[in-house]
Amino acid sequence: MIFALLRRDLAQFFPFTGSGAALPVVFFVAVAMLFPFAVGPDANLMAKTGGGVVWIAALLAAILPLEKLVARDIDLGFFDQLRLRGMAEEAMMAVRLAAHWLSFGPPLVLATFPAAALLKIEGETFQILLLGLLAGTPGLAAIGLMIAALTASLRAGAALSGLLLIPLALPILIFGAGALARQDQVSLGFVAAISLALVALAPFAAGAAIRAAREN
Amino acid sequence: MQPSLPTLAADNLACRRGDRLLFRRLSFRLEAGAACHVTGANGAGKTTLIRALAGLTTPYAGAVMREGALALLDERTGLDPDLPLGRALAFWFGLDTAPDTGTMIARLRLDALAEVPVRYLSTGQKKRAALARVLGQGAGVWLLDEPLSGLDTDSQGLVMELVREHCADGGIALIASHQPLDLPGMTSFAIEDFAPALEDLAEQDEDA
């Protein structure tokens, strides 16, 4: 049952196959492309600030898929039907988290290659950036899932979720971008730890949120 | 179909929507083979009752007891709107390991629609698709919320036929509908009969 659901969720959200399309990834690369135009082609300046720009672009790209992430399936009665078949809301949300991350984390990491080339990020900085995004995107996905589930029954949910994600994602951004400035691995450990805690927490918070959404 | 005989019972059930008490002291018991028709005007609480019986919401008071698997048909199909109908149904058939889906789909006259995305289906076609999902589940207890709305006369007859077969097979069907139904041995109650009387409301205000 879990695997059937994961397959279905992936088909829904994966870029190029589902209705989610490749929008977040395109958006991510577009930001990296715009930045040199905005600040001028100073290689030194770009190498210094480019990593931070990539992180901000990743954070903003994480907001884009949230609108469809949970609300649509609540409206469809999809979660209700799964519940009748004995599946716990927490399990549904754990599967949703996995599908959400798979459909935006790895594509974003891949898109970092062209983005880094555009921003003249090279060598060790590039490695730390890649590792940081790998460690940080599960956390961003977990925050996104919790927010999407909490705001699913609100009319202005989509606009609100973007606003809510930004402050909650600050720790990941601070340590992720901080690792670039100091060129150290310790901050990456912090990013991974924050992500891990969020991933462990998110299915329970989101599951409780969709249960609560039924009651009104 | 079910190893143990299905039953569905409510004991002293009360449900609210928002702050308003919709019904209280509702008790009934349905044994295998029973059909029950719940009547009531729009907004009287039929859907609220069905969702409480399905275990999707917690009743304000009282308890629901159920034996056997449960299938729910309401205005939401649970089918992915972007997928062709055949594939959207295949997801649920796969989960429920439904046998003999071909004849079922033919019987509900959905075979010609297999390639049509669910969002292009009409209200009646969506309802028939949701019925296919319910049939595929092979559950002992059926909760049907307005199963006839949006259907043409032929399809309405087909739905009643399916319910009759389900009950003859030892299944339970609880049908909320404001339309008259014709089923052999069917019991029925009006949800308005359980609406709170004025003194109850006064009591409730004191509690609050």
Tokens at residue B45, please? 């609480």
Size of the A and B interface in Cβ pairs below 8 Å: 51
pLDDT of residue A91: 96
Structural domain count of chain B? 1
Q: Is residue B99 part of a domain?
A: no
Q: What rounded mean pLDDT belongs to chain A? A: 90
Lowest mean pLDDT among A164-168, A181-185, B149-153: A181-185
Taking alpha carbons only, the member of A136, A114, A140 closest to residue A126 is A114
Tokens coding B179: 């339309």
> Dihedral of CA B39/B42/B47/B52: which sign?
negative
CA distance A166 to A63: 9
Residues of chain B with C-beta less than 8 angstroms from the C-beta of A19: 82
pLDDT at A209 over 60: yes
B78 domain residue, yes or no? no
- Tell me the chain A residues in contact with residue B72 when contact means C-beta distances shorter than 8 Å: 80-81, 84
Between A76, A78, A83, which is nearest B56 by CB? A83
Residue-wise pLDDT tens digits, A97-108: 999 999 889 999
CA dihedral (A200, A69, B53, B136) positive or negative: negative
pLDDT bucket at B173, cuts 50 / 70 / 90: very high
More confident position, B1 or A171: A171
Q: Where are the beta strands (DSSP E) in B18-146?
A: 20-30, 35-39, 61-67, 70-73, 141-145
Tokens of B76: 């939401």
Cross-chain residue pair A77–B71, CB shorter than 8 Å: no
* CA A61 – CA B183 distance, rounded (Å): 55
The residue type found at A11 is A
CB B131 within 8 A of CB B77: no
Amino acid letter for position B36: C
> With pLDDT > 70 as the criterion, what percentage of chain A qualifies?
96
Over residues B15-35, the mean pLDDT reads 91
Alpha-carbon distance B190 to B202, whole Å?
Answer: 23
Which pLDDT score is estimated for A15? 60
ipTM of the complex: 0.90
Q: Comparing C-alpha atoms, which of B137, B175, B85 is closest to residue A81? A: B137
Asked if B105 contacts B111 with a C-beta cutoff of 8 angstroms, the reply is yes
- Cβ(A58)–Cβ(A137) below 8 Å: yes
Q: For position B168, which CATH number holds?
A: 3.40.50.300
Domain containing B36 equals 7-69+139-207
Chain B residues close to A214, C-beta within 8 Å? 51, 56-57
Strand order in the sheet with B70-73: B70-73, B141-145, B172-176, B35-39, B187-190
**Alpha-carbon gap, residue B151 to B192, rounded angstroms:** 26
- Least confident stretch, A17-21, A23-27, A184-188, B96-100: A17-21
- Report the pLDDT value the prediction gives residue A11, as an integer from 0 to 100: 84
Cβ contacts (< 8 Å) between B55 and chain A: which residues?
A: 83-84
Please give the pLDDT value at position A162. Answer: 86
The encoded tokens of residue A98 equal 């996995």
Q: What pLDDT score does A122 carry?
A: 86
CA distance to partner chain B, nearest, from residue A1 (Å):
6
Cα–Cα distance measured from residue A55 to residue A28, given in angstroms and rounded to the nearest whole number: 10
User: In total, how many domains does chain A have?
Assistant: 1
Query: Is the CB of B51 less than 8 angstroms away from the CB of A214?
Result: yes
Min Cα distance A77 → chain B (Å) is 5
Model pLDDT, residue A85: 93
Supply the range of the domain harboring residue A102: 2-214
% of chain B exceeding 90 in pLDDT: 74
> Residue A199 in 3-state DSSP?
helix
Widest distance between CA atoms in chain A: 59
Cα–Cα dist A145/A27, whole Å:
20
Whether the pLDDT of residue A158 is over 80: the answer is no
- Which residues on chain B are in Cβ contact (under 8 Å) with A75? 76
Find, among B61, B6, B45, the residue nearest to B145 by Cα.
B45
* Angle in degrees, CA B186, B151, B45, rounded to 5: 55
A215/B76 CB distance under 8 A:
no
Which of A6-20, A172-186, B100-114 shows the lowest mean pLDDT across its residues?
A: A6-20
| pLDDT at residue B74 greater than cutoff 60 | yes
Q: Is the pLDDT of residue A133 over 60?
A: yes
Yes or no, beta carbons of B72 and A84 under 8 Å apart: yes
Residue A199: C-alpha distances to residues A126, A146, A193 (Å): 25, 10, 10
Q: Whole-angstrom Cα distance, residue A108 to residue A65?
A: 13
Q: Do A77 and B57 touch (CB under 8 A)?
A: no
- In tens, the pLDDT along B112-167 reads 999 999 999 999 999 999 999 999 999 999 999 999 988 999 999 999 999 999 99
A3, A5, A8: best to mutate for the B interface, most B CBs within 10 A: A8
Q: Interhelix angle for A170-182 vs A157-168, to 10°?
A: 40
pLDDT at B1 over 60: no
CA distance A46 to A4: 45
The set of residues, in sequence order, having a beta carbon less than 8 Å from that of B193 and lying 6+ positions away, is none
Q: Which residues contact B99 (CB under 8 A, 6 or more apart)?
A: B138
Asked if residue B205 has pLDDT above 70, the reply is no
Nearest-CB residue to B78 (from A4, A81, A215): A81
What pLDDT sits at residue A12? 83
Question: For B69-77, what is the mean pLDDT?
Answer: 93
Helices within A15-122 (DSSP H only): 23-39, 43-63, 66-69, 71-76, 78-84, 89-118
**Within a domain: residue B154?**
yes
Would you say B156 and B148 are in contact if contact means Cβ atoms under 8 Å apart? yes
- Note the pLDDT of residue B201: 61
B78/A80 Cβ within 8 A: yes
In this complex, do B91 and A78 lie within 8 Å of one another by their Cβ atoms?
A: no
